[in-house]
């Protein structure tokens, strides 16, 4: 019995509120200002008649959603405006039905929820609007237009202005997927994956699909960082890698790769800023790697060869290098390399310093060795 009581008490413990004080202050200032402006304008338009309503309490809940949870599907303008208006209409209909108060309120709540499901505008304060209209026996459908529709519309307009000025997108739109091959896929979780997971979960979420994907990716990144500790790219990279200038002739660049047994040759400018990368596979289609080495001419042959007209220009490594290049910063944790190697199937990633200069390179084997060492059990010395 004591164990059951203990579990019940633990279940009542509030979950941590994972936003900082700055975000809390941003939300409460926005909600307060929006209600102040909305109330003033609504009272000015409708008047302070005891028999009319220029503001209802449920709009305070709407302001909380709009300013504290601007990314929530429940707080979007369509859901807020239509949800509150539909709730008001259902409440007025229940008041017209002439039922006793108890069944009338129950019908108002369930009817408002049903209307929101049909119209795809689920907004919790709209249910409170329906309950309020039913309890106070409001029979004028004008109530759904003024103050409910007008006040809610004004709230979301103010929310759009304030949220965007303070760095929060509202209305929230799913971000466009990046098309650059040099950057990692925005999410390793596809829409189909998330839809299947949400169908199995079978409950409404208060965040969008893209926000859910971000939470999953942040969780995955935090797990990597916990397992890998404080290891950074600079700790596992091969420092001062061999590099070439963009005007290096392709035969010379191939010779550098071949003689040093490299898999990739970074291309840098005079200041050692990364411009591109040339891999051994980039030379595979050319005849440079397949052609046998030509012996150096000597004697008369050397003299004649000097007199032969040379081509005006020859292909350089800049003609076949890949650019832009997926890279990492030397101060990044090695956990950031995992999705780069996994999603883009890279074999080597250049490492840059804060000024964008090439300082090292990390290969798959470097990362695997670091991962192996990180998961080894710690032994006391």
Domains of the chain and CATH, by start? 20-165 (no CATH), 191-228 (no CATH), 234-289+315-374 (3.10.580.10)
Is residue 204 within 8 A of residue 72, CB to CB? The reply is: no
**Residue 175: what pLDDT?**
61
How far is 90 from 77, CA to CA, in rounded Å?
Answer: 20
pTM: 0.56
Q: Which two tokens stand for residue 120?
A: 């795809």
- The band of 203, judged by pLDDT with boundaries at 50, 70 and 90, is low
pLDDT at 375: 67
Mark residue 47 as left, alpha or beta (left: phi above 0; alpha: psi -120 to 50; beta: remaining): left
Per-residue pLDDT tens for 37-57?
999 998 888 876 655 688 899
Between the CA of residue 134 and those of 51, 151, 277, what are the distances in Å? 16, 19, 70
Please, what sign has the CA dihedral across residues 363, 364, 367, 373? negative
Buried b (16+ CB within 10 A) or exposed e, 65-76: bbbbbbbbbbbb
pLDDT number for residue 179: 44
Task: Summarize pLDDT for 63-87 with one digit per residue, the tens.
Answer: 999 999 998 899 999 999 999 999 9
pLDDT in tens, 222-257: 776 676 667 889 888 989 899 999 999 988 988 898
- Rounded to an integer, the average pLDDT of 318-325 is 87
Q: Are strands 358-363 and 348-352 parallel, antiparallel or unpaired?
A: antiparallel
How far, in Å, CA of 221 to CA of 225, rounded?
6
Q: What is the separation of C-alpha 90 from the centre of its chain, rounded to a whole number of angstroms?
A: 38
| Contact of 350 with 266, CB cutoff 8 Å | yes
Could you tell me where the beta strands, DSSP code E, fall in 280-357? 328-329, 348-352
Distance CA 272, CA 183 (A): 22
What region, left, alpha or beta, does residue 46 occupy, with left being phi > 0 and alpha being psi -120 to 50 degrees?
alpha
């Amino acid at each position: 019995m004591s164990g059951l009581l203990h579990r019940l008490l633990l279940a009542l413990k509030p979950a941590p509120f994972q936003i900082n004080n700055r975000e809390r202050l941003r939300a409460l200032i926005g909600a307060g200002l929006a209600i102040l402006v909305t109330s003033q304008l609504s009272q000015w338009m409708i008047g302070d008649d005891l028999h009319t309503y220029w503001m209802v309490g449920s709009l305070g809940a709407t302001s909380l959603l709009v300013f504290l949870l601007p990314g929530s599907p429940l707080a979007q303008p369509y859901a807020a405006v239509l949800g509150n208006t539909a709730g008001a209409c259902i409440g007025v209909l229940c008041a017209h039905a002439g039922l006793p108060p108890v069944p009338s309120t129950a019908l108002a709540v369930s009817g408002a929820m049903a209307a929101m499901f049909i119209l795809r505008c689920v907004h919790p304060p709209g249910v409170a609007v329906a309950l309020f209209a039913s309890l106070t026996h409001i029979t004028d459908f004008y109530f759904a237009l003024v103050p409910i529709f007008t006040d809610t519309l004004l709230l979301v307009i103010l929310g759009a202005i304030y949220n965007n000025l303070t760095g929060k997108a509202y209305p929230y739109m799913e971000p466009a997927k990046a098309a650059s091959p040099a950057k990692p896929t925005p999410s390793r979780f596809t829409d189909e994956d998330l839809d299947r997971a949400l169908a199995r979960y079978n409950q409404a979420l208060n965040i969008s699909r893209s926000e859910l994907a971000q939470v999953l990716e942040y969780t995955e990144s935090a797990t990597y960082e916990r397992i890998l500790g404080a290891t950074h790219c600079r700790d596992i990279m091969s420092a001062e890698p061999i590099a070439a200038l963009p005007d290096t002739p392709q035969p010379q660049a191939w010779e550098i790769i071949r003689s040093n047994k490299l898999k990739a040759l970074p291309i840098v400018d005079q200041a050692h800023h990364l411009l591109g990368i040339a891999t051994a596979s980039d030379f595979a289609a050319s005849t440079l790697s397949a052609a046998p080495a030509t012996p150096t001419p000597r004697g008369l042959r050397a003299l004649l060869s000097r007199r032969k007209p040379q081509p005006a220009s020859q292909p350089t490594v800049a003609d076949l290098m890949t650019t832009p290049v997926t890279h990492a910063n030397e101060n990044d944790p090695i956990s950031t390399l995992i999705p780069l190697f996994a999603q883009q199937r890279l074999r080597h990633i250049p490492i840059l310093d804060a000024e964008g200069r090439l300082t090292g390179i990390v290969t798959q084997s470097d990362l695997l060795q670091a991962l192996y060492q990180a998961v080894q059990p710690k032994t006391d010395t």
